[in-house]
Amino acid sequence: MKLKAVILLCIFPLVLQAQPVPAGTVFLTRNTPVHDPVIIKEKDTYYVFCTGFGITVFSSRDLQHWRKEKSVFVQPPEWAMKAVPGFKGHIWAPDISFHNGRYYLYYAVSAFGKNTSCIGVAVNTTLDNTSPDYKWEDKGKVIQSVPGRDMWNAIDPNLIVDSSKTPWLAFGSFWDGIKLVKLADDLLSVATPEEWYSIAKRPRDITIPDTVAGDGAVEAPFIFQKGKYYYLFVSWDYCCRGEKSNYKVVVGRSEKVQGPYLDKQNIPMELNGGTIVVQGKSTEWYGVGHNAVYTAEGKDYFIYHGYDAHDQGRSKLLLEEIKWDKDCWPIILPQND
């Protein structure tokens, strides 16, 4: 009953978020209904991809006004419906980047509260849906996690290409923490021989069945390279609970993409380390998290979602410029407008 209650509590605010928004609807940034956003720019337009049916998309030319675009998928990928029983098209936590003349959009499909999960990828040559070249081509499954077999969860993907041009996929949620796996050069499959690393973890009650998320609340990895460091951002604690959300973002860094990632106190993130970057404030945002980082026009931007204390804990888009202190640690100064 306890697990059932938790699942219902988590799903309820997502249902509030999931009310259909017609394509063409325009929102101001902090009223834009998103969850798990990631951002990229093509020509003069920014695009945000986020959790939603078929993957939700918004566009903007000024980072202030966001227009709802058509979803990526009209129909759920058939392979995903077979791999995850009960999956009906609500796709989680996309990650977008541009390589080799194509956009690569990684995404997660999962059963809530279980590690019955897969990460897939789709490609496109443009993000402009008015272009005759616009067409998302789904390339299918990249990684799958199976309850009882894996103590990791194949959701929340993030692609990072290191200084040697080697591609890696960071991913994970709860269970045994955040993983990093080397990808093949085509960016569509795991490299062989396989190369895996554990890069962040939080304590987990070993009495909780392997098939249940339980505690160990860490997820949403995003790796950003700046100077000699790779910065690993992850979200701690609980999303998706509206007014009861206590999500926050922490960071560690490493000179190697494989880690170990250390926080300001030199505690490895694999040993519950992490320096807080942003967290909720009950008068403005109950919880904030699941971030991405993007550089545009010479500025580093921190994009994430927050549970609005002025709107029943609904999830909204947050976007801030990152400042860097004298020791090259990120500083986020959220505005409370």
Closest CA to 208 of 241, 173, 176: 176
Structural domain boundaries, residue 195:
2-19+32-332
Q: Is residue 26 part of a domain?
A: no
Q: Is residue 53 part of a domain?
A: yes
Question: Edge-to-edge strands of the sheet including 137-145?
Answer: 52-53, 90-99, 102-110, 117-124, 137-145
Closest CA to 56 of 80, 43, 36, 72: 72
The one-letter amino acid code at 334 reads P
CB-count burial class (<10 Å; 0-12, 13-18, 19+) for 305? buried
DSSP conformation class of 35? S
The one-letter amino acid code at 165 reads K
Q: Is residue 312 part of a domain?
A: yes
How far, in Å, CA of 140 to CA of 309, rounded?
A: 38
Residue 1: predicted pLDDT: 37
Within 10 Å of residue 211's Cβ, how many Cβ atoms? 15
Segments of the chain with pLDDT less than 70: 1-19, 334-337
Helices (H), the chain: 2-17, 78-83
Rg (CA), the chain: 18
Q: Is residue 327 part of a domain?
A: yes
Token code pair at residue 134: 């616009």
Closest CA to 46 of 278, 287, 299: 299
Closest CA to 87 of 58, 105, 60, 114: 114
How far, in Å, CA of 101 to CA of 138, rounded?
A: 16
Token code pair at residue 74: 């009209």
Number of domains in the chain: 1
Question: Edge-to-edge strands of the sheet including 299-308?
Answer: 285-296, 299-308, 315-324, 330-332
Residue 247: predicted pLDDT: 95
Q: Is residue 222 part of a domain?
A: yes
The residues that are catalytic are 36, 219
End-to-end CA distance of the chain: 40
Domain harbouring 93, CATH code: 2.115.10.20
Tokens 């969860």: give the residue: 153
